[in-house]
Structures are given as structure tokens and as C-alpha cells.
Amino acid sequence: AQSVSQHNHHVILSEAASLELGCNYSYGGTVNLFWYVQYPGQHLQLLLKYFSGDPLVKGIKGFEAEFIKSKFSFNLRKPSVQWSDTAEYFCAVNANTGGFKTIFGAGTRLFVKA
């Protein structure tokens, strides 16, 4: 069965620390990969996406993610977090073989201390 695994459920960092959130997926076909973010009291928003091409993708607010096909991974990174990055982050996958229904990871709650 298709699944997405996020390595950390809760992460606490101080401002200016570097961030890496792990994501692995289980899917045999060609996939589209996403990171979504939900800030407190707000909608789920698309942070970045990978469809094809350069495996290092850049998103909004200084985030980037690297697709490593051999490891079935799509880790999210940011060199220096800010207090405003406090949010819940979701890794997600969809594919045409699944009718493009999106499979989400359990989410990682990030708290950045000012």
C-alpha cells in the first residue's frame, strides 16, 4: 500500500538553527511530491513541489527539498529558521496510478523559539 512516513512528529529549534525534516514514501510508480505547511489558524498551503527534472526544488520562504529516487526520500530543508516558521509540515505524494489522490504523512509540528 502507498504510504508516506515523516520521521519526526515534533521538532523544537531555536531561531537561526538549520532545519531538516525527513520524508520517505512507499510507491512504485512515477510520483509527484509535495510539502504542505499549515500555520496556526490558517489553510494548508503548498510549500514546494516536485514533478520532474532537477531533484533539488526550491519553494517559498527559503525552503528547499531534495528528491532522492534511490532512497524514496523527499527531505525538506531550511538553512536558518525563523520564529514565523512555527507550523505543521506535511509531506505528500500523488501519482496517476493512484488517481492523483494525495497520500499524506502524519505531519511534523515545528516550534521555533525566538
Residues touching other proteins, count (CB under 8 A): 23
Minimum CB distance to other proteins smaller for 100 or for 114 = 100
106 near other proteins, judged by CB under 8 A: yes
CA distances from 114 to 13, 84, 95, 110 (A): 9, 9, 39, 13
Asked whether position 51 contacts other proteins by CB under 8 A, the answer is yes
- Please state, in angstroms and as integers, the Cα–Cα distance from residue 6 to each residue in 3, 40, 41, 91, following that order: 10, 20, 22, 7
Of 28, 40, 53, 101, the one binding other proteins (CB under 8 A) is: 101
Residue 54 is a binding residue for other proteins (CB under 8 A): no
Which range of residues in 18-26, 32-40, 61-69, 78-86 is near other proteins by CB under 8 A?
32-40
Its sign, for the CA torsion 51, 57, 63, 67, is positive
